[in-house]
Amino acid sequence: MTAVSNDPYWWPQINFNINFSYYIAASSAAVLYDWALTIGQEFELVWGHHWSLITVLYIGLRYIGIVYIVINMLQLLPTVSVTDEVRVSEILNTSSSVQHTDCNSCNVMYFTVNWMSVVTNAMLGVIMITRLYAMYQKSRNMLIFLVVFFTSVTIACGVMTGMLNKYTIGGELILSGTYMCYPYDPEADTAILLPMTWILSTVWEVLALCLAVWIVVKHFRELQQSPTGWVVRDYFTVLMRTHVVYFASFVAVSCLNLGLLFPSLDSLAVGPQIYFGIRQVLSVMQLFVLGPRLILGVRQHHAKVVDNSDAGVDMIPMSFQQRTHLSTGSGV
């Protein structure tokens, strides 16, 4: 549905939309810049190796991210209209005589962005499971636990996203010559569903963080006296360095998401504008920049170790697997 108005009542909303668009542009530029920055490593470390599950996940994360930012810009930039009007349905604001018409383009983009977030988080979860499975010496019990727990979380998030999409209509506001797609809920109160997906995702990430820290501390203690322990410790250092940055960003995003539940942020003041903008940038960075770098970081380190080793291509991975059963080849 589309809403059209030139009433000064909407000027604070217009100002909010324009300021927020700067953060949209910044987050989009960050994803594209990171892709341009790592395209050489991508061809060398991803496209140049045999295909595996992790290869597919990397490509999915990287290029879903590019599609995501394009849709997000079309959806939220105030200078872009996606109006596809078919019928007038109701009055949105009686003081400003705002009319609604169905907007199929906004519906499609709103649903697509929601499902892309679910799919992206699922792929990141699979990457985390493969790493934890390897770090726990390919323990079958640990694998079953991780798969069952994560599958339950993913299904629950998928169901809630489906319900959210079912009862929400994407509409477009046309305010004094500016445009904004927005979700409109005419049939059911689904406001609680989105925070519930954030909470479930946070629970999974906290669990993954605790398991990763526990096994790393345990391995470092066991390998302090090992004559070949430097190799294993080096790999674990790389794993944890990429994990720490990723987990730190997720903690920040989770706190910002949960902070949206506070009524004080339900305004158009400068403070909430900055809050929403920072949340937008960190969310996109965590999903589509740090996510792919979880894979590139380990593959790049493995390639350097192999190049600098006199033991040949197969010796280092073999030694690493004997101690930790962690594959360091192209599948990580």
Q: With b meaning 16 or more CB within 10 Å and e meaning fewer, what string describes 105-141?
A: bbbebbbbbbebbbbbbbbbbbbbbbbbbbbbeebee
Q: Compute the residue count for the chain.
A: 332
Q: Where are the domains of the chain?
A: 2-324
Quick one: CA torsion of 131, 283, 254, 241, rounded to 10 degrees?
40
Which amino acid, one-letter code, is at 242? T
Per-residue confidence (pLDDT) for residue 291, from 0 to 100: 85
Nearest to 31 by CA among 220, 304, 263, 283: 283
Nearest to 149 by CA among 130, 125, 131, 127: 125
Per-residue confidence (pLDDT) for residue 315, from 0 to 100: 33
Asked if 286 and 249 count as a contact pair (C-beta separation under 8 A), the reply is yes
Per-residue confidence (pLDDT) for residue 66, from 0 to 100: 92
SS3 state of residue 163: helix
Per-residue confidence (pLDDT) for residue 245, from 0 to 100: 78
Q: How far apart are CA 227 and CA 158, in angstroms?
A: 48
Which amino acid, one-letter code, is at 90? E
What's the pTM value of the predicted model, to 2 decimals? Answer: 0.77
Per-residue confidence (pLDDT) for residue 155, from 0 to 100: 95
Q: From first to last of its 332 residues, what are the pLDDT tens digits of the chain?
A: 455 556 677 777 788 888 888 999 999 999 999 999 999 888 888 887 788 888 899 999 999 999 999 888 887 777 766 654 433 334 344 344 444 444 577 777 888 888 898 999 999 999 889 888 887 888 899 999 999 999 999 999 999 888 887 777 766 677 677 777 776 665 556 667 778 888 888 889 889 888 888 887 777 776 665 555 444 555 566 666 667 778 788 788 888 887 777 777 667 777 888 888 898 899 899 889 988 888 887 777 666 766 665 444 343 333 333 344 434 444 55
Q: How far apart are CA 3 and CA 114, in angstroms?
A: 22
From residue 110, how far is each of 171, 182, 198 by CA, in Å? 9, 8, 17
Q: How far apart are CA 231 and CA 237, in angstroms?
A: 10
Backbone angle region of 325, left / alpha / beta, with phi > 0 → left and psi within -120 to 50 → alpha: left
Six token digits for residue 11:
């000027």
Six token digits for residue 49:
């190796």
Six token digits for residue 276:
């929403």
Q: How far apart are CA 295 and CA 228, in angstroms?
A: 24
Per-residue confidence (pLDDT) for residue 259, from 0 to 100: 79
3-state secondary structure 229-258: HHHHHHHHHHHHHHHHHHHHHHHHHHHHHH
Query: What are 88's strand-pairing partners?
Result: 101
Per-residue confidence (pLDDT) for residue 145, from 0 to 100: 96
Asked if 300 and 308 count as a contact pair (C-beta separation under 8 A), the reply is no
Six token digits for residue 147:
């798969």
Per-residue confidence (pLDDT) for residue 64, from 0 to 100: 93
- CATH entry 1.20.1070 includes domain 2-324: yes
Which amino acid, one-letter code, is at 200? L
Asked if 181 and 110 count as a contact pair (C-beta separation under 8 A), the reply is yes
